[in-house]
Every structure is written in C-alpha cells, then in structure tokens.
Structure 1
Amino acid sequence: MTDFTMPSIPGSATARLRKPDLSPGRISRRYAAERRFRLYGVLAVGLAIVMLALLLISIVSKGYSAFMQTRINLDITFDAQELDPQNTRDPAVLKAANYTPPIRKALSAQFPDVTERTDRRRLYDIISNGADRQLMKMVLANPAIIGTTQSVSLLAGDDFDMLNKGRISRNVPEAERVLSDKQLGWFDKLQSGGRVHYAFNLDFLTSGDSREPEQAGILGALIGSLLTMITTIVLALPLGVMSAIYLEEFAPKNRITDIIEVNINNLAAVPSIVFGLLGLAVFLGFFGLPRSAPLVGGLVLSLMTLPTVIIATRTALKAVPPSIREAAYGIGASQLQVVLHHVLPLATPGIMTGAIIGLARALGESAPLLMIGMVAFIVDVPRSIVDPSTVLPVQVYLWADSPERAFIERTSAGIMVLLVFLILMNAAAIFVRRRFERRW
C-alpha cells in the first residue's frame, strides 16, 4: 500500500488541521506574552489600590480633626441681676435672658489690659457665638447655679479651633492670616494657663447644620438620607421585584415586552439629573408635594433605582437552574407556586445584592435632589418624610461651597460618614447573600 501525503491547499480542511508550530522559540514567546499580560493585570490592580489609598488618606487626614473640638475653660459668673432680676426662676424668664455678657466679662477678666473697642471685639471672637445657648441650657437644667461662679468649658470660635489644630500657619505675615498677632498672643496666654483643651465633638453627630462651622453638625443630613432611603426602598424594591417576576416568568414574548425590556435597559443609563427634572415637573409642579422633603427625594430616587432593581432581579431569576422549575412542575405545582415557593427563594441573594447596590448608588446621588430643592439650608433635624431636609451628598456639597476654612474639615468628615453609610449597606448585601445563598 502506497503511503503519500496530500498537499495542503490554503483554506482547506487539511490546512486547518495542520499541527501547530511547537518550536521552542514560538513557545517561549507565547509564555512571555502571558507573563506580560499577568504583569499588566497586577499593575492595574496595584495602581487602583494606590489611587484608592491616596483618596482615603486625603479624606481622613483632612476630616478626622472634625471629630474633635477646641474648648476653653472660663470662670463664668451667673449674675442674678442679669439673668433673673425678680428671682422667680421662671423658665420663660431664664430663656429670655441674655447670656452673652457673662462670657464677655469672663474674657475681660482674663485680659484686663484690652480696653479698645476693636480689640475687645476681636477678643470676644475667641469664644463661639453659640456659647450663650450652652449657658442657657445649664441654667435651665440647674437654676441653683444663679448667683454663683462656675468653671465652664465653652466652645472656641472656628478660627481659633483651626489654629489649635494646626490648620492656620503662624509662619506667614499677619496680613495673610485670618488672626492678628494680638489674637495669637491672647490664645497663647489661655493655652499656657491650661484653659485650652480638646474634647470629642459630639455636637457634630447630634446636631443639625449651622452657618458657624464650629457648630455645624451632620445629624440632620444623616436622618434626611435615612428617611429618603427608607422611602426609596419601600417604593422601588417591591415594584422592581414584581415587575421583574412578571416580565421573566409570566409575560408573553412578543413585540410589546421586547419594547418594554429595551426601555428598561435604556432607563438604567439615563443621567440622574433627568429624573430630578421629572420629579420637579411631576411631583412638585403637578401633584404639589412639599418641596425639599424626603418623600419627594425618595420618589425621585425610586424612579432612578427601579430599572437597576428590575435588571438585577431578572438576572437572578435566570440564574436559577431549569431543573428546579422542572422538578416543581413534576410534582404538580402551578406556575405561581413554582415561582413563589421555589424560584424566588433561590434567587433572593442575587435580588437583594443587586437591589442594595442600586440603593447604594442612589444614596450617593446629589444632582436629582438638587433639582427638587433639597439643597436648602436646613437647621432642624427632620422628624418625618414630609419635613424639609437635606441628604449627606448635598450637605457635603453645601459645606464644600462655604468660604470658611473650618468647613473644609467638615466636608471631609461628611464624606467619611457617607462612606461608612455605604460600607454598611454593602456589608448588608454581603450578609444577605451569605445568609440565603444556595449551592447546586
């Protein structure tokens, strides 16, 4: 039997079945390309980690000091003739009293040589203009201190707080500083006398916003974000999950459902400010809902989150193995029973993970909320979804736009609180996935 080799014709099956070139040079080049590809991947991951670390370091280094505040101890004399001339101890009279003079007298007692009017005004700036409310609360809580002298720790003004934290440099000319040389000398004298100290800034976490940076707190924005997210969850999650279940399990496959699916995918890519314009026109303009309220903010964010929830839910439903459905049909279950009792429980981890990630994205949005008026300056902490409020991203935006130096650390501290909120939401997504995860 004659053995011969059929010639290889370019493009023929014989040419396609030829043995690959396994020469040492080609193999070494292929391994080198694989090593380079792995190196590129490691470098990309490393660069991303370095950039993230630099971002976090920058935020923390500027914002950690906001959780501490400078306080100054002064000997305050609660003069009965000024605070309660009739000696009635009536709370209404005590609230109406002027608590600023005792603070100024205490400062003047520390610096008796300061007599000029301009210098006295600069001296009084050492103490925050909200310190009088602190004294009022002390008197209302314990009227017996009227007529006595007490050592009281008062909040320092924002510029002196920045000076104590090293945010204001002493090594620049006086004309380039916000504090004069005299003010630096007064503060140094108080510091050398042991009257200046640090304290944890509990007010930052327990009070609302303020025009004065040393008094500004984040509780109002935190509660506003919480109320807005609760409204978003209540509206977007049930509607999104039910819509996805119908489209994936019950809806007929025709032209109408195809159009709906395409529009849902398109809505997921629409810029968020478009939803803000929709909320401004519909919820505020047409329905007349209260402006700058968590209810309206939740409605707008629900519209923005709904496509993401639907897409994530449909993906989770598709991931359930067909054998689960076939087994349920085999024992006589109806289509509704198959979906609710078998498919939906197994898809819950994916549904919840996608939903929480979508809600986390909504938490960081500010553009749509600016359109519905949640950029307003709100001092009071909201108590319901119809009270005026703001949210964390908008609060950070407001502080970043303020000219005072002390608001820089408030801005970074607000970002830190927002990041903690996002981390908790993502941790909740991981917990839900681990809790309900099933392996096949």
Structure 2
Amino acid sequence: MAVETVPGPVASKPTPAEIIERGIKRRYAAERRFRLYGIGAILFGIFFLFYLFGSIVAQGYTAFVQTSWQLNVFLDPKVIDPSGKLDEKELLTANYTVLAKNALAEALGIDPKSRPKTREAMKLVSRDVDLDIRRVVMADPSLIGKTVPIWVLASGRVDSLEKGQLDRNLPADVRKISDEQLSWLDQGWSKGILAFRFNTGLFVNGASSQPETAGIGVAMVGSLYMMLIVVVLAVPLGVAAAVYLEEFAPQNFFTDMIEVNINNLAAVPSIVFGLLGLAIFINFAGLPRSASLVGGLVLTLMTLPTIIIATRAALKAVPPSIREAAYGVGASKMQTISHHVLPLALPGILTGTIVGLAQALGETAPLLMIGMVAFVVEYPTSPLQPATALPVQIYMWATSAERGFVERTSGAALILVGVLICMNLIAVILRRRFERRW
C-alpha cells in the first residue's frame, strides 16, 4: 500500500529589494567593525604612549632635586692657603675634605677627633664634597679665614633613601646605612641643615662616577657641536642636491638609480652609518676618535637623505603655474628657482630639516660605533676634542650599576624628549605659519 507524502511549505525566494537591504546592512556592519578596529588601535597606541611617558616621569622627576647639607664651613687659612700668598695651585690642591668633616661633625654634635664617628658621618655627604667648597673659595678668595654657610651634596645612597627609593625599614646591611646614620639624617632634617634643592648640577656637570655629581652639561655641549656641523653641512648639500634632481637633472637610468638609492639610504639602520664613519673618518682620514666633528659628519650622512626627500616633496608641491608665470615674464630657470620656487617651498624645506635634525639628535648607535662613550668631565672647547652626546650619556647611565643613576637616566631622557618635542613643535608652527594652500 503506497504512503502518500504531504509536501512541506516551499521557501520563498528573497526579493531584489531584500537582497540589496541585506547587502547594505552587511556593508554598514563591516564599516562599524573597521571603525572600531581603528579606534582600538589608536587607544592601544595612546595607552602605551602614556605608559611610557608615565614610567619615565615617575622615575625621572626626582632627578631635578637633590638632597643637600648646609654646613657652616670654617675656611681655615692654614689648610687652604698656608703660604698666605693666595697661590692658585695651593687653593686648587688644598684638603677641603677636612674642612667639610669638621663642619659636619660640628653640625651633628660629633667629636671631630672621633675617627670612627666622623668616618661614618662623612658617608652621608658626597665623595666630591671638596669640589663644592673649592668652588666657593675659587670664586671669592677673600672668604678665607671666615665661616661660610655652604650647600654640599649628600651621598647618592642618602639621596635615594630620602626620596623613598630605599626602604628605611630594611636591615642596615641591606640599605647600607646604619641606624646611627639614620638618626643623624633625622637630626639634619629637624635642624633644617638637610633639604631638597633644585639640582643645577644635572644641567652643568660632566661625567662622574658618583650619581649625585653626574650631569649632562658636557653631553649637551657635544650634541650642540654635532647639530651645528649637521646644519652647516647637511642643509646646503641636501637642498642643493634636491634642487638639482628635481629641477635640472634629466630623466634617465642614472638619475633613477640615484633617486632609488637616496630612498634606500633613508631606511638604512643608523648603525651602518656608524660603521661607515668609523671606516672613513677615523680609520682612513685619521680624525680623532670620540670627537664631535666625527659625530657631526656621521649624522650629516644620515640626515642628508631625509632633507633631500623632504626638499624634493616641497619643490613638487609648488604649482607649475608659478614656473610658467616666471618664464612668461622673461625669467631664467635659475631666477625662477631662486626667486619663486625656493621661497614658496621654504616651509616644507624647514619642516623636513628640523625633523631630520630631531632624528639625528636622538641617535645613539652610530655614535657608539665611533667611540663617543668616553668618560668626559671637562667641557670640550672645540669639535676636535673628546666629547659625548645626550643620548649616549643616557645609554651610559642606563648601564651603570649604581641605584642613583636610574633616576638620572630617566631625568636625562625627559630632557631629551622635551628637546625633541620642542623641535617638532617648531616644525609644525613654521609649517602652519608659512604654508600656502594651492
């Protein structure tokens, strides 16, 4: 017996209008997802940017203040100027540490003749305490024989302890500061002879093995020398090369190869330029190692592609009608370029130049290759003398084992970032101020 089947409901086909509507909904949904992906990527980048700056600021803001002692130092003429002739050599080589020891012992109520206690007390001030007193004497020798209040730096370990970077509750052998020394520190705060002061030494001092006396002054001078060399060499060479390639050079295989190589050089790792500078300027030309001149030449080679590319882009942005109008009134090609094209392209050229200089200022790898990691205490008086640079100084401090150099590293990084931000802001302002819309 056959079983009769009952057909089910037949699904109706979607109408063209429904198909179009579904497609529109899918496109809108895809657009919303894409916008969310973009917003998420921006938020992700902003989060890590703030995290980076937050960590640098959190570790580095304390570098701008320094724990210091105010000591009433008796500038004993028997110690400073035994001959009474104010001889400069005697003033420079006097035993100022003894004067600091006596003043600190008096301030803390310690018997100056008690060697164990005075030895422990002197661990609370910087090992370079004699430099602070000598600086005062050399500035005004008439103070010899008088008792003068002088601010001297505390030791790096005391500075870290007072800034909360070392826990007071740690055992004495761990914090390397005894309980008696802690009581002296508390006594100093209560008497007002121990205080936080603005750390001018961070900006004016040179390299030092003691974190409390280390500064970026020498590094900033070295960076200034290098930037001057880059400006003098890279800017005219880069602009001239860009003008020739854009306005005069014929379109052939040779110029195409030059353009390709310039674009490739802009993407070459900076350490390669350091190797090139080491081979050419030091090994071949015999220029002094660790000199700002060599660093400036290396950074010039690294900056040239950036300036050439930016200048060519600025020249291309000038409308052809400007050139045609100049030719129409009888101007030569050189007059057209110098009187019309270059002035109109100047904002873009300045922007590219400043961006290139900012990039060069923050470079470390090429300077390491040419030996600008020297321990330089005195300011270089010429680009031929040994020097270091600000990013290299940050690198050197970051590799130091002393706890006090951690905040110095972050503090110097804050200064470097601030300089770079200012340079980029100048570029943006100049661009907006002089840019013309065509």
Partner of 1:58: 55
Q: Which residue of the partner structure matches residue 407 of structure 1?
A: 405
Give the C-alpha shift of residue 207 in structure 1: 2.0
SS at match of 1:258: helix
Q: Is the 8 A contact 2:75 2:143 kept in 1?
A: yes
Counterpart for residue 40 of structure 2 = 43
Paired position in structure 2 for 1:14: none
**Aligned residue among 23, 26, 29 for 1:32:** 29
Equivalents in 2 of 1:291, 1:206: separation in Å? 24
Greater alpha carbon shift after TM alignment, 334-343 vs 371-380 = 334-343
- Percent same amino acid among aligned pairs? 55
What is the TM-score when the length of structure 1 is the normalising length? 0.90
* Residue 113 of structure 1: how far off its partner (Å): 6.5
Q: CA deviation at 1:116?
A: 6.9
How far did 1:412 drift? 0.5
Show the counterpart of 1:273: 271
Name the amino acid aligned to 2:412: G
Residue 80 (structure 1) shift: 2.7
Is 1:160 the equivalent of 2:158?
yes
* Distance (Å, rounded) in 1 between the aligned partners of 2:271 and 2:56: 26
Q: Does the C-alpha gap of structure 1 residues 21 and 231 become closer, same or farther in structure 2, counting only changes over 3 Å?
A: farther
Deviates more, 1:418-427 or 1:92-101: 92-101
Give the direction of change, closer, same or farther, for the CA distance of 1:387–1:246 in structure 2 (3 Å limit). same
Moved more, 202-211 or 84-93: 84-93
Indicate yes or no: 2:337 matched with 1:336.
no
Deviation at 1:134, TM superposition (A): 1.9
Partner of 2:423: 425
Q: Deviations over 1:388-435 (max 9, x none)?
A: 111111000011111111111110111011111111211221232133
SS at match of 1:409: helix
User: Where in structure 2 are the equivalents of 1:282-301 lying within 5 Å?
Assistant: 282-301=280-299
User: Please, what TM-score do these two structures have when normalized by structure 2?
Assistant: 0.91
Moved more, 107-116 or 251-260: 107-116
Q: Does 1:71 align with 2:51?
A: no
Equivalent residue runs for 1:30-429 within 5 Å: 30-109=27-106, 110-112=108-110, 117=115, 119-429=117-427
CA gap of 1:20–1:344, structure 2 versus 1, over 3 A, is farther
Unpaired stretches in structure 2, ≥5 consecutive residues: 1-15
User: How many residues are matched?
Assistant: 422
- 1:288-328 C-alpha deviation (Å, 9 max, x unpaired): 11211111111111111111111111122122222222222
Deviation, 1:22, is 6.4
- 3-state SS in 2 of match to 1:23: helix
Q: Mean alpha-carbon deviation: is it higher for 263-272 or for 22-31?
A: 22-31
For 1:53, give the aligned amino acid.
F
Q: Which residue identity is paired with 1:99?
A: Y
- Any idea what SS the aligned residue of 2:318 has? coil
Equivalent residue letter for 1:102: L
SS for the counterpart of 1:407 is helix
Shift of 1:45: 1.3
* Distance in 2 of aligned mates of 1:290 and 1:272: 21
> Counterpart of 2:188 in structure 1: which amino acid?
L
> Which SS does the other structure have where 2:161 is aligned?
helix
**SS class of match (1:151):** strand
Give the partner amino acid of 2:85.
T
Displacement, 1:175? 3.0
CA drift of 1:137 comes to 2.6
Secondary structure of the structure 1 residue equivalent to 2:388: coil
Query: Offset at 1:111?
Result: 4.4
CA offset digits 1:47-77 (Å, max 9, x no partner): 2112111111111111111111111122322
Counterpart AA for 1:47: F
Q: Which amino acid aligns with 2:341?
A: V
Q: Give the AA of the match of 1:58.
A: S
User: 2:85 is paired with a residue of what secondary structure?
Assistant: coil
Gaps of 5+ in 1: 1-18
- For 2:300, what is the secondary structure of its paired residue? helix
> Greater CA deviation, 365-374 or 427-436?
427-436
What are the Cα deviations for residues 132-178 of structure 1, in whole angstroms up to 9, with x where unaligned? 12222323333343333333322111111111111111122233223
SS at match of 1:197: strand
Counterparts of 1:164 and 1:345 in 2: how far apart (Å)? Answer: 57
The structural deviation recorded for 1:206 is: 1.8
1:368-397: CA deviation from partner (whole Å, max 9, x where unpaired): 111111111111122222121111110000
**Over aligned residue pairs, what C-alpha RMSD do you find?**
2.0
Q: Distance in 2 between matches of 1:299 and 1:20?
A: 69
* C-alpha separation in 2, matches of 1:411 and 1:26: 57
